[in-house]
Amino acid sequence: MERSQDWIYEAKKDIEHARSDLASGFYNLACFSAQQGAEKAIKAVFKKIGAEAWGHSVAGLLKELSARTQIPAALLRAGQELDKAYISSRYPDALPAGTPSQLYNRKEAERLIRHGDKIVEFCSNFLSQIE
């Protein structure tokens, strides 16, 4: 059963969740949700084309996808930045000192949400072109 629409739906919900966390001041969790939205959106594309996608690296998944379609350099850079939030936004021992909720800030969360949004939009557009 082909489930790309379920994956893109959840990707959009993750971005929505990121915005909610931003509004509530949970900047680290907003960053993580933005990363998750981007990851799920890319995996939606892989599902649609019948390919396997492994791992959690947004940049890595985009590079793998670039063998099948043109990926803008700006999206690859956005993916690299989102990848930095995958672990450090959640685990206190991933950072030299302090906790993620103390160290992430609004500006960072806003930027990562924009990155996630762009990747979700790119993937949504890709899916609509191949349906």
Instruction: List the domain boundaries for the chain.
Output: 4-129
CA distance 63 to 54: 12
pLDDT at 104 over 80: yes
Looking at domain 4-129, does it have CATH number 1.20.120.330? yes
Q: In this prediction, what percent of the chain has a pLDDT beyond 90?
A: 96
CA distance 123 to 131: 12
Confidence of residue 1 (pLDDT cuts 50, 70, 90): confident
Residues 6+ apart with CB under 8 A from 31: 18, 82, 85, 89, 104, 108, 109, 112
Q: DSSP state, 97?
A: S
The Cβ of residue 8 has, within 10 Å, a number of other Cβ atoms equal to 25
Q: Tens digit of pLDDT for each residue in 4-30?
A: 999 999 999 999 999 999 999 999 999
3-state secondary structure of 6: helix
The Cβ of residue 123 has, within 10 Å, a number of other Cβ atoms equal to 27
